[in-house]
Amino acid sequence: MSSTAPSGIQDVLHGGRLSITSVRAEQVLDSRGWPTISVALTLDDGSVHEAAAPAGASTGAFEAVELRDDAPEYSGRGVLNAVAGVEGAVAATLTATPWDGIRQLDDALRELDGTPNLARLGANAIVAVSMAASRGFAHLAGVPLYVWIAAQTGSDPLMPVPHFNVLNGGAHAANDLDFQEFMIAPVGVGSEQDAVRAGSETYHALQAAVRDQFHTAGLGDEGGFAPPIANPVQALDLLVAAIATAGYTTDQVKVAIDPAANGFYLGDGNYQVDGRRLDRRQLVDYYDGLLGDYPIWSLEDGMAENDFEGWQLLFERVGDRAQVMGDDLFVTDPARIRQGAAEHYANSALIKVNQIGTVSQTFDAIAAARENDMTCMVSHRSGETPDTFIADLVVGTGVGQIKSGAPARGERVAKYNRLMSIERSEPRLRYGLR
Ligand SMILES: C=C(OP(=O)(O)O)C(=O)O
Ligand SMILES: [Mg+2]
């Protein structure tokens, strides 16, 4: 544990039993304007702890599933059934007994749901309850959420490198760009403050270029620009030019991409990128070329979630030069991460709390990655709320990387602002990659 933790790790681990007196849930809107669920837990000391579920658009087939209403309202995407489940069965369970720890509470939620993928109560309902309960436990321990998370996971807190998604394509934008995310990562600056500044300055340099060249500043779901381009090379040229225009070198600010290859997988080992059909070997050649030509340090979901042969080819070719990361491949599932390590699919795992559904299983996913010398990046979803849980999660687990979209739009910057606030409150925390 870091020297930054308050005195007595046992106090943090066992701040007391969580006595929940009431559970409230409601339907609110996410950043795409679709309903999501927000939960508030009241404790016996009168304190209230809230959390809201995010929602993905390019979801993996093996994720825990959301519960959406089968009703005409909100095109069937309402969450009133999820709300009713939380205020009914979940509330009855949570208020029946005090809770010793988050794992005990999460296990009870899973048992109550009774399905492997949380389909009955909904992963959206359960994740919001689990995050709100974590805040309750941190409150009992009298420490910031990230300190409680560090104690739960035996981690050294670390300020992460933010990965700003500044050009959007795929399922997150209306353009013809097959690759979903083009991110800038200030790996070579000295602090979170400096990283946010680099992200903001590069974002604005890019904005000027996009306006100038395409006469538009239209945005994708994560706040990045979505100009009418189709070729990933054109996107990377824009990015590298913006980094230089903003006055940074590519040692200071590198690039990360999430092609989200499920979105352009044709099946049978074939993909379609910018109108060209590529088999898995040709796609690996293509990535290899991009890694040679551009300062790309991290490549997420380069292959489709079921193209295991493709993952092995990709990892063998570029795994010594780049972070090869599984998102839809691993879905924050400890068992899938372990299997991926054993089969040499990747050296990194993306971490999304709502993919697995509970906070304690998210800790398990990070532990599984660590056991196998894999890195992790904590991630938002494309549909978000101003909830900042993931900012504390990334600092507390000390994994050193986060992605939360563009450095613009309230639901994205809430996380970056929380990171800077943690850094201001604890300036001794180191910034950088793990
Ligand atoms: C954040 C992502 O998108 P979504 O939330 O739509 O799955 C992603 O694919 O990494
Ligand atoms: Mg992804």
Q: Give the Å distance between the CA of 66 and the centre of ligand 1.
A: 15
What type of residue is 431? Y
10 exposed, middle or buried (CB, 10 Å; 0-12, 13-18, 19+)? exposed
- CA-derived radius of gyration, the chain: 21
Which of 97, 113, 143 terminates a domain? The answer is 143
| Three-class DSSP category at 43 | strand
292 occurs within a structural domain: yes
Residue 14: enclosing H or E segment and its boundaries? none
**Whether residue 129 is found in the same domain as residue 162:** no
Domain end among 143, 165, 199: 143
Amino acid in the structure at residue 411: E
Residues 80 and 220 in one domain: no
pLDDT greater than 80 at residue 13: no
Q: Are 219 and 225 in contact (CB under 8 A)?
A: yes
Q: Is residue 34 part of a domain?
A: yes
**Other CB atoms closer than 10 Å to residue 371's CB: what's the count?**
12
Is pLDDT above 50 for 193? yes
State the pLDDT confidence band at 7, using cuts at 50, 70 and 90.
very low
Distance 154 CA to ligand 1 centre (A): 28
Please check the confidence at residue 111 and state whether its pLDDT lies above 60.
yes
Angle between helices 123-141 and 145-153 (to 10 degrees): 100
**Which atom of ligand 1 is nearest to 56's Cα?**
5
Buried b (16+ CB within 10 A) or exposed e, 339-351: ebbeeebbbbbbb
> 6: pLDDT confidence band, cut at 50, 70 and 90?
very low
Confidence grade of residue 3 (pLDDT, cut at 50, 70, 90): very low
Nearest CA among 347, 422, 423 for reference residue 189: 423
Half-sphere exposure of 301 (CA within 13 A, CB side): 28
List all residues 6 or more positions away from 35 whose beta carbon is below 8 Å from its beta carbon. Answer: 27, 28, 29, 74, 77, 78, 79
Q: Give this prediction's pTM.
A: 0.97
Residue 316: active-site member: no
Residue 2 reports pLDDT greater than 60: no
Among the bound ligands, the one closest to the CA of 326: 2
Where a domain ends, among 119, 143, 167? 143
Domain that includes residue 117, residue range: 9-143
DSSP tag of 219: B
Ligand nearest to the CA of 171: 1
Quote the ligand 2 centre to 161 CA distance (angstroms). 17
Are 116 and 229 contained in the same domain? no
Distant-in-sequence, close-in-space partners of 122: CB < 8 Å, separation ≥ 6: 37, 65, 66, 67, 68, 79, 81, 82, 85
Residue of 66, 222, 305, 411 marked active site: 222
352 is catalytic: yes
381 Cβ below 6 A of ligand 1: yes
Which CATH number do you get for residue 198?
Answer: 3.20.20.120
Residue 322 located in a structural domain: yes
Both 133 and 201 in a single domain?
A: no
Q: Is 381 assigned a ligand-binding role in the annotation?
A: yes
User: CA-to-CA distance for 150 and 76, rounded, in angstroms?
Assistant: 39
The domain total for the chain is 2
Task: Kindly state the average pLDDT of the residues 104-120.
Answer: 98
- pLDDT one-digit tens code per residue, 276-292: 999 999 999 999 999 99
Residues 104 and 135 in one domain: yes
pLDDT 10s digits, 27-38 = 999 999 999 999
Q: How far apart are CA 276 and CA 267, in angstroms?
A: 14
Do 328 and 420 share a domain, yes or no?
yes
User: Is residue 50, in this structure, part of any structural domain at all?
Assistant: yes
d(C-alpha 285, C-alpha 189), whole Å? 31
